Amino acid sequence: SSELTQDPAVSVALGQTVRITCQGDSLRSYYASWYQQKPGQAPVLVIYGNNNRPSGIPDRFSGSRSGDTASLTITGAQAEDEADFYCYSRDMSGTHCVFGTGTKVTVL
Amino acid sequence: QVHLVQSGPEVKKPGASVKVSCKASGYTFRTFGINWVRQAPGQGLEWMGWISAYNGNTNYAQKVQGRVTVTTDTSTSTAYMELRSLTSDDTAVYYCARGDWGTEIDFWGQGTLVTVSS
């Protein structure tokens, strides 16, 4: 089982804000990154180093961390944001990497 | 433009081995590591292991330790993942993905479907 826990599914109305969380003790020590995956496609990096956005990623995506929880926020969700989202970091030992359990985001 | 191009789909019988390749272009191969990640049908992402393209250091997930070997050929900028003693639980899409150890993964291959079936 993953050491990074996410809610299985969330929904958000078009244009509204949604926050996805990732909880794990290792997040107190190691950075989290976030990935968006649409059906049949490879994942895409949307946030790295807890709160940094790669070039080309819309600024409606933002990240933060507090204690053992990392968060990804989509402000003004668009229809094209509907996807699975995964967090990623190291495990508690720091010697292996691990993905979160994943969150399915539905835009209503 | 960074590209990771993986080998084609594979069908294997239980107990067999599979070797997936990942050819990198658009950057200096030895300056980044390569992760291997898999995704079983309808399931989440699972990190399998990592290799430094600079010095060949590796790190494997405990779940596949002993059955997986990741290598690189710097002369062709290609990474390889070999998984042995396959079972139906190994049926998945396998991705190679660029990243330094323990940090973000910034580019992904297109994925290779490996099907294990008798």
pLDDT in tens, A60-74: 999 999 999 999 999
d(CA A92, CA A102): 19
The model's confidence at residue A1, banded by pLDDT at 50, 70 and 90, is low
Taking only residues 64 to 103 of chain A, the set having a beta carbon closer than 8 angstroms to any beta carbon of chain B reads 84, 86, 88, 90, 94-102
Which residue matches tokens 């898999």? B38
Query: Per the CB < 8 Å rule, is B105 touching A33?
Result: yes
What pairs with residue A65 in β-bridges? A70
What is the nearest CA distance from A89 to chain B, expressed in angstroms? 7
- In this prediction, residue A61 carries a pLDDT of 98
Question: Under the phi-then-psi rule, with left for phi > 0, alpha for psi from -120 to 50, and beta for the rest, what region is A43?
Answer: beta
Whole-number pLDDT of residue A13: 97
The pLDDT of residue A2: 64
Position B67 confidence tier, pLDDT thresholds 50, 70, 90: very high
pLDDT of the residue at A42: 98
